[in-house]
């Protein structure tokens, strides 16, 4: 059989999938033929198979470098479930466990060995590895070499030595990081300039992107969790540790299974919460960006940003943790004037040098532009990463429920004039009061009730003025100092003079935006009850083995089971995600549950 046919039959027999996705086949062929590959694929794109299958097809063991113990353990558990001989090596192992790994390795009884970089580079382990016994070397999360990224790992910089030790072993570097500068850095640091590059589309079609105007964050978030994601696993991102603690607390009080995660917690508490998140169904993790790379959980159904991310890169990476399994998922954000002000002042007050500040300012501006967008969000996201989507996606808030716009040129001039006439030192609320013609004590004592701008904005409500101000600040027409004082920028001059027009979004009732979103249920309503029973069965089987539920079967396999209701092994084997080993291991149990369920219904 050719390598090509071989890889397809392994895909079916072992993993239970019908066909390769995207570039998987080409990447696998490249590595099987002994060449190097640099793989850039979004989260959930299917990177693991790109090294797992070649490791099985080539002689020897596949060595996989992975930065986090939790990631390794998940992968190993998943491989063992499908009958692949995999183990991991990291500092958390006891002496006996470690000896067992070495023993199995030298007996040639391993297909894949996952290894932490410090474990590989420490001591003389690397010189003990016989190059002839290596099928390939895969460097996962390769963007960890980048000093500029959130996930920088100093040990990753030393992985270049692998090129010298094992020049003839094919190497793969894999990452989900989208920008091209990081790609070049990976190639350079890992000495993989010659590697063939595979850059997949960054589109995540199953994710619905939504940005809502922040009115009452708490209520909006609760609404999302209750009405659209009851019982689902999800992540709520917050900017500060204090807000993480508070949010987790009130969500728990409101009856949600919410847990906190941030760098201020002890390592033990963090590990415990992360383990619960990945193994239990329906946990809502409230976290800072410290909760990131280790998330391998495929069935995260929503990612909610209650605070504004600092860049589109961060937003894309964080929202990308939703829906790795390809099933419908929500990326939700609530965003308001306070977010713009906070991010801008954090940036200006940070200790970084001017050059870097300029870059960060540009990134924040792009993020704000994305929030204020009236067109398709997916088209904008992809364009940011240099890719194109020809048609609007039909699966973002702006596509599902096109925002109305209005010409705010004149209103903006009124607002700008009021800021100017009151001396460019007052906060938003005061300026709104003057605009709508309020005569409170402070206004009178400062004589601002006699200004010509007093009351010129009566036609709009304060919340409409707030929406407009947010958009002016987002566009950098108005600056906010760290006391909240508003001031005009040079950029606003053309607008003040009437040389340009300003079209903005209309304030939208928060509930309306969600009304037309796609349903996020995984199975048809008539099979929902069976799906729940199958979920319980899966939880029980996972529990017995001490592995996360999705290691037994992905949600997509379970959903297919609920829809097709197989009654024999042949039909069971046809489900996507059922290979030889899982067929033997689980078919009887699930077939029986399905039959019982059907009988009780009669």
Which residues of this protein are in contact with ligand ADP, per CB under 6 A? 17, 20-21, 24, 41, 43-49, 298, 324-325, 554
**Residue 207 in contact with Zn ion, rule: CB under 5 A:** no
User: Cβ closer to ligand ADP: 212 or 297?
Assistant: 297
CA-CA distance, 156 to 149, in Å (whole number)?
A: 13
Give the nearest distance from C-beta 582 to ligand ADP in angstroms: 12
**Nearer CB in complex with ligand ADP: 41/341:** 41
The Cα–Cα gap between 520 and 247 comes to 24
554 binds, among Zn ion, ligand ADP, none (CB under 5 to 8 A by kind): ligand ADP
In the bound state with ligand ADP, the residue whose beta carbon lies nearer, of 327 and 416, is: 327
Instruction: Please check whether residue 297 is in contact with residue 323, taking contact to mean a CB–CB distance below 8 angstroms.
Output: no
CA distances from 169 to 33, 126, 136, 165, 418 (A): 11, 14, 6, 9, 69
Binder of residue 393, out of Zn ion, ligand ADP, none (CB less than 5 to 8 A by kind): Zn ion
Residue 315 CA to residue 547 CA, distance in Å, equals 30
Q: With CB cut-offs between 5 and 8 Å by kind, which of ligand ADP, Zn ion, none does residue 378 bind?
A: Zn ion
CB 328 within 8 A of CB 386: no
Find the shortest distance in angstroms from Cβ 296 to ligand ADP: 7
CB of 161 to ligand ADP, least distance (A): 25
Nearest distance in Å: CB 506, Zn ion: 18
Closest CA to 479 of 412, 425, 408: 425
Closest CB to Zn ion among 369 and 392? Answer: 392
- CB under 5 to 8 A by kind: which of Zn ion, ligand ADP, none does 454 bind? none
CB of 306 to Zn ion, least distance (A): 22
Q: Which of residues 358-387 bind Zn ion (CB under 5 A)?
A: 376, 378
> Contact 261/270 with Cβ under 8 angstroms?
yes
Which residues of 466-554 form beta strands (DSSP E)? 478-480, 486-488, 503-505
Determine contact, residues 316/382, Cβ cutoff 8 Å: no
CB 209 within 8 A of CB 312: no
- Tell me how far, at minimum, the Cβ of 20 lies from ligand ADP, in Å: 5
Q: For residue 113, list its beta bridge partners.
A: 63, 87
For ligand ADP, the closer of residues 202 and 256 by Cβ is 202
Instruction: For residues 415 and 412, give the distance between their C-alpha atoms in angstroms, rounded to a whole number.
Output: 5
Per DSSP, the three-state class of 320 is: coil
Q: Which is nearer to ligand ADP, 74 or 397 (CB)?
A: 74
CB of 45 to ligand ADP, least distance (A): 4
CB proximity list for 231: less than 8 A, separation 6 or greater: 281, 282
Nearer to ligand ADP, 113 or 327 (CB): 327
Give, as ranges, the residues between 384 and 403 that touch Zn ion (CB under 5 A). 392-393, 396, 399
Q: Partners of 172 in the beta sheet? A: 37, 138
How far apart CA 447 and CA 198 sit, in angstroms, is 66
In our burial notation (b when 16+ CB lie closer than 10 A, e otherwise), range 27-50 reads bbbbbbeeebbbbbbbbbbbbbbb
Rounded least distance, CB 38 to Zn ion, Å: 30
CB of 596 to ligand ADP, least distance (A): 28
| Contacted entry of Zn ion, ligand ADP, none for residue 41, CB cut-off 5 to 8 Å set by kind | ligand ADP
Question: Cβ–Cβ contacts within 10 Å for residue 512, how many?
Answer: 9
Nearer Cβ to ligand ADP (43/412): 43
In this complex, which beta carbon is closest to Zn ion, that of residue 211 or of residue 480?
Answer: 211
Q: How many CB atoms lie within 10 A of CB 106?
A: 12
How many C-beta atoms surround the C-beta of residue 532 within 10 A? 13
Phi/psi class of residue 344: alpha, beta or left (left: φ > 0; alpha: ψ in -120 to 50)? alpha
Give the 3-state secondary structure of residue 258. Answer: strand
CB of 282 to ligand ADP, least distance (A): 19
- From Zn ion, ligand ADP, none, interface partner of 396 (C-beta below 5 to 8 A by class): Zn ion
171: partner contacted, choices Zn ion, ligand ADP, none (Cβ within 5-8 A by kind): none
- Cβ proximity to ligand ADP, 398 vs 557, nearer residue: 557
Could you tell which of Zn ion, ligand ADP, none binds residue 298, using a CB distance below 5 to 8 A set by kind?
ligand ADP
Q: What is the binding site for Zn ion (CB under 5 A)? A: 376, 378, 392-393, 396, 399
């Amino acid at each position: 059989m050719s390598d090509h046919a071989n890889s397809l039959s392994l895909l079916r027999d072992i993993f239970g999938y019908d066909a390769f996705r995207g570039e998987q086949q080409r990447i696998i062929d490249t590595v099987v033929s002994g060449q190097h590959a640099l793989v850039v694929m979004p989260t959930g794109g299917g990177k693991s198979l790109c090294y797992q299958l070649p490791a099985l097809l080539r002689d020897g063991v596949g060595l996989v470098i992975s930065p986090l113990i939790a990631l390794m353990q998940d992968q190993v558990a998943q491989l063992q479930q499908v009958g692949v001989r995999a183990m991991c090596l990291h500092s958390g192992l006891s002496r006996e466990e470690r000896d067992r790994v070495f023993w199995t390795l030298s007996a040639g009884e391993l297909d894949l060995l996952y290894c932490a970089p410090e474990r590989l580079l420490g001591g003389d382990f690397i010189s003990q590895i016989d190059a002839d016994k290596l099928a390939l070397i895969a460097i996962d999360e390769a963007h960890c070499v980048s000093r500029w990224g959130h996930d920088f790992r100093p040990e990753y910089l030393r992985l270049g030595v692998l090129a010298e030790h094992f020049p003839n072993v094919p190497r793969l570097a894999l990452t989900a990081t989208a920008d091209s500068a990081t790609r070049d850095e990976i190639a350079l640091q890992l000495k993989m300039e010659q590697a063939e590059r595979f850059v997949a589309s960054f589109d995540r079609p199953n994710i619905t992107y939504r940005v809502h105007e922040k009115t009452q964050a708490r209520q909006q978030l609760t609404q999302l969790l209750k009405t659209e994601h009851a019982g689902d696993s999800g992540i709520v991102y917050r900017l500060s540790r204090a807000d993480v603690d508070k949010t987790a607390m009130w969500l728990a009080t409101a009856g949600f299974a919410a847990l906190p995660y941030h760098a201020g917690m002890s390592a033990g508490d963090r590990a415990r919460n992360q383990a619960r998140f990945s193994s239990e169904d329906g946990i809502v993790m409230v976290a800072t960006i410290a909760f990131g790379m280790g998330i391998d959980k495929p069935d995260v159904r929503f990612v909610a940003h209650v605070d504004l991310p600092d860049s589109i890169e961060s937003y894309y990476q964080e929202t990308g943790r939703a829906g790795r399994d390809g099933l419908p998922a929500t990326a939700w954000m609530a965003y308001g004037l306070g977010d713009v002000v906070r991010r801008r002042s954090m940036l200006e007050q940070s200790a970084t040098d001017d050059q870097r500040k300029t870059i960060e300012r540009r990134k924040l501006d792009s993020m704000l532009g994305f929030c204020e967008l009236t067109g398709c969000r997916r088209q904008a996201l992809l364009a940011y990463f240099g890719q194109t989507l020809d048609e609007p996606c039909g699966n973002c808030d702006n596509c599902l429920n096109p925002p109305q716009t209005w010409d705010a040129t004149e209103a903006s001039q009124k607002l700008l004039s009021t800021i100017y006439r009151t001396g460019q030192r007052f906060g938003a609320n005061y300026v709104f009061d003057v605009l709508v013609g309020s005569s409170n004590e402070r206004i009178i004592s400062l004589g601002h009730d006699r200004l010509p701008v007093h009351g010129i904005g009566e036609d709009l409500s304060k919340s409409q003025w707030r929406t407009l101000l947010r958009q002016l600040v987002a566009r950098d027409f108005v600056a906010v100092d760290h006391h909240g004082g508003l001031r005009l920028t040079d950029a606003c001059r053309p607008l003040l003079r009437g040389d340009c027009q300003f079209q903005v979004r209309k304030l939208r009732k928060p509930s309306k935006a969600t009304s037309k979103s796609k349903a996020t249920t995984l199975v048809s309503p008539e099979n929902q009850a069976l799906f729940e029973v199958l979920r319980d069965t899966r939880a029980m089987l996972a529990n017995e083995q001490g592995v996360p539920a999705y290691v037994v079967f992905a949600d997509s396999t379970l959903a297919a089971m609920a829809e097709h209701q197989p009654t024999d092994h042949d039909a069971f084997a046809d489900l996507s995600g059922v290979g030889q080993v899982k067929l033997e291991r689980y078919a009887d149990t699930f077939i029986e549950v399905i039959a019982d369920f059907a009988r009780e219904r009669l």
